[in-house]
Chain A
Amino acid sequence: MISLKVNGKSRQIDVAPDTPLLWALRDTLQLTGTKYGCGQALCGACTVHVDGVPTRACVTPVSAVAGRSISTIEAVDAGKVGRAVQEAWRRLDVVQCGYCQSGQIMSAVALLTTNRKPSDADIDNAMSGNLCRCATYQRIRAAIHEAARNLAKEKQA
């Protein structure tokens, strides 16, 4: 049994310790919002937060994150930054097929959490590990800027 803290809840799972967090989330805990794209930390589709840090779940064995705080796309609306990012994504109709977008959003939320006013270069740095085969990149960039503006407004208000 391995004990995981996912989206604020403690969960006991019975999987081999080398099982990547990705498959534990998807197959065991039925949290299927986190996606499989490559299994080798090459695409970012599986991005989750471990103690707030964006992490590729496909190469992270569950044994390495036991007891740490894991959050996934399913809980992203629990935070102000997460809600602002989702709202910007919807307003600009960023998504196409949508398969990469959980990972994109998790990376964007991590960026805006530590950097409230990212430049284009900051966005390139934070987001270039997240592939989008539909190439929605122009809108991803615009949506991050928009979310940043809205968060700044919220703060003033």
Chain B
Amino acid sequence: MNAPAIENLSRRGFLQGVGGLTLGFCISAPFAPAALARIGVSPAPTFGFNAFLRIASDDSVTVISKHLEMGQGTYTGLATILAEELDADWKTVRVEGAPADASRYNNLFWGPAQGTGGSTAIANSWGQLRAAGATARAMLVAAAAKRWQVPGAEITVREGVVSHAASKRKARFGELAEAAAQEKLLIDVALKKPADFRLVGRHARRLDSADKVNGKALFTQDVQLPGMLVAVVAHAPRYGAVLRGFDAAAAKRVKGVVEVVQIPSGVAVLAADTWSAKKGRDALKLDWDEARAFKLGTDEILAKYKELAKTPGLVAHTAGDADAAFAKAAKVIRAGFDFPYLAHAAMEPMNCVVKRTAEGCEVWNGEQLHTGDQYALAGVFGIKAEQVKINMLYAGGSFGRRANTKSDYVVEAANIVKAIDGRAPVKLVWLREDDMRGGYYRPLFHHALEAAIDAEGRLAGWRHRLVGQSILKGSPFEGMVKNGIDAVSVEGAANLPYAIPNMRVDLHTPEDIPVPVLWWRSVGSSHTAYSTEVFLDQVAKAMGKDPVALRLDLLGKHPRHAAVLRLAAEKAGWDKPLAAGKPGTRRGRGVAVHESFRSCVAQVAEVTLAADGTIKVDRVVCAVDCGIAVNPDNVRSQVEGAVGFALSAALYGEIALKDGVVTAGNFDAYPILRINEMPRVEVHILPSQANPTGIGEPGVPPLAPAVANAIGAATGRFPGRLPFRSEELKA
């Protein structure tokens, strides 16, 4: 999954560099316009330049996004990249979601699969969309040169206008679009130098703001098709429960209920509207056989993991001789860390619209894993993957949930359509409780860490053992499991940046827990950043060193980490004492730095603790190196949001099971951070000339450890579990 080197690439190099992917043509708009998450629709004649660009005779420039807009600002960022090289007028730029077609729209970091995730949208598209914009610009220039009979080299382009100074001729993009679209794609087109950027690195307003402040933005939840039925499903109360039978008589008596059908994942009640479907679902009488169902609670799972942690696991990383370093140690420090299951709890609960068509089937979805979902639905209906047409709509958040390796809710929607023989299009609606209890959580983990300090007072040894379920095993991404080690279980731990001569990281992957797990914004780093960074502060304390100074000592080979750490420390005023709080409160300041998705983020958190242990995070100073910041304001926005998202988890996030049943159903039992709890967040971006790297996720990992380290500084107690427990932090 390495990024191809695509900086300042010619088109020829571009074609080779990305494995023969072409800027395929798509002259005709493939979908019914009303059904797409698109920003602005041009009624004017429109001309395709390549798979990513159409220009209409009214000058509107439509950028096709192969990636899902789920809040992370992708539509705006991708359009910025293409518009930059095209020299388009930003006011004329619109965005449209791409169809499912991995031959044109695959994620270049994933091989032949289309999808959005791993904070790759901007990074993998950077070279591709620059080439798409630059070649289209060259086509416009060629068309103008022909029309005006002047040398192309004398033609300039700026903000959607093509000009020839000597002859004083000018044409807008729309006037040239038809002729330009017939021009041959030029093979060698130079890309701009970063110094010449006019849009990239500046503040381009979000293109989706307008429709998201007036209720017009179309989410899957909003789709209404003629004859469509709404389905609400009764799911098994425990993993592994089997339906013995059900009585639908009362459900069918509910006004509006049309049909009740059994599907592999439960019983679906179909009605003309959501409320009737819900009432029908609630009126079902279900008989579940739970003889073989999973009946453990999370306390028991954790106890098992702690037992496992006493035995060696599979080695994920080793350096030097860790055991020898511990044998010789003058001092050994130990700590254990527990991490709960976490629900994504996107604001829009999972939902999906599926319609059987003469050609195959059509789907409306906040689509995050096009290729996987195409194959899964093809399997349900016994059709070919390319017969599954997908309309990618705005997603009301995802945080990883919609990129489901088993296509869970998408398949459920299709199974309902199949159960009614495709008679009507179906909108599957998961109510909040269905979503909360629907599984695919961030896996529960236990970590055990040990550090050896040698006689000279140096950090000489580090042993880190992790226990938790694998996300990738049994998924289409199983190739990333090497020698039994799931790469995302140990990411952030196995590649610890600190110069410690003797290290061992090992992993247990329990396979007897049926709770489905999935990536959750920042994946493995959501727990590894915590255990490593909080433990390092405990080590610093034992060594009598300043946490920033110790990290800088150990980051000699990692200048990006060191640079963001220095920047965050400087902006936070690390060298000055923290102001005291009100009488009776304790204040502390903590730091953490972590690399994920090829970006480095450092955060300094300032925390006030009340006497009863209530935690208030006052301020978080962030420093970010994400390569070239395509849209700096969006980088700030993503990091602000990541801080709030991560703080939710640190303060409250926990999916608990009791006797196999998920206890939380709604936001009362799974609280989300509220506005009065949001800290002041400052984001500082390190200037960079390097290709862009991820930003949707990298702001998450450092937050909880920075807060924990601030708690440690204030109280001397470093929380060994998430979420924090106020009762353990009383004065």
Contact = CB atoms under 8 A, between A and B. Distances in A.
A86 to B, nearest CB: 5
B347 A97 contact: yes
User: For the complex, would chain B's binding face be called helix, strand, loop or mixed by DSSP majority?
Assistant: loop
Nearest to B427: A27
A97 B275 contact: no
A37 B347 contact: yes
B209 A95 contact: yes
Interface in A27-68: 27-28, 30-40, 42-43, 45
B209 A93 contact: yes
Given A73-B214, A96-B71, A140-B675, A37 B432 contact: yes
A105 B215 CA distance: 10
Interface stretch (B3-11, B471-479, B499-507, B666-674): B666-674
Given A86-B214, A93-B206, A97-B347, A38 B397 contact: no
Interface in B568-621: none
A28 B273 contact: yes
Interface stretch (B308-316, B637-645, B719-727): B637-645
B210 interface: yes
Contacts of B345: 133
User: For the complex, would chain A's binding face be called helix, strand, loop or mixed by DSSP majority?
Assistant: loop
Contacts of A45: 347
Contacts of A36: 221, 274, 349
A20 B212 CA distance: 24
Instruction: Report, as a range, how many residues of chain A touch the other chain.
Output: 35 or more
B675 A137 contact: yes
Interface residues of B, number: 65
Interface string A88-119: 01100111111111100100000000000000
B674 A98 contact: no
A36 B348 CA distance: 7
A5 interface: no
Contacts of B397: 96-97, 99, 133-134
A142 B594 CA distance: 29
Given A20-B275, A26-B274, A97-B395, A43 B213 contact: no
A135 B648 contact: yes
Contact of B633 (A27, A40, A90, A93): A93
B357 interface: no
A99 B459 CA distance: 48
Contacts of A26: 222, 274
A26 B349 CA distance: 16
Interface stretch (B178-186, B437-445, B446-454, B676-684): B676-684
Interface in B204-250: 205-206, 208-219, 221-222, 224, 230
A131 B637 contact: no
A74 B273 contact: no
Contact of A33 (B214, B641, B680): B214
Interface string B245-258: 00000000001100
Closest 5 CB pairs of A and B: A33-B215, A135-B644, A99-B396, A97-B71, A98-B212
27 contacts: A16-B276, A20-B275, A26-B274, A27-B274, A27-B275, A34-B215, A35-B396, A37-B349, A38-B432, A43-B667, A43-B672, A93-B209, A96-B637, A97-B70, A97-B395, A98-B394, A99-B346, A99-B347, A100-B347, A102-B215, A105-B213, A124-B675, A131-B672, A131-B674, A133-B345, A134-B397, A135-B643
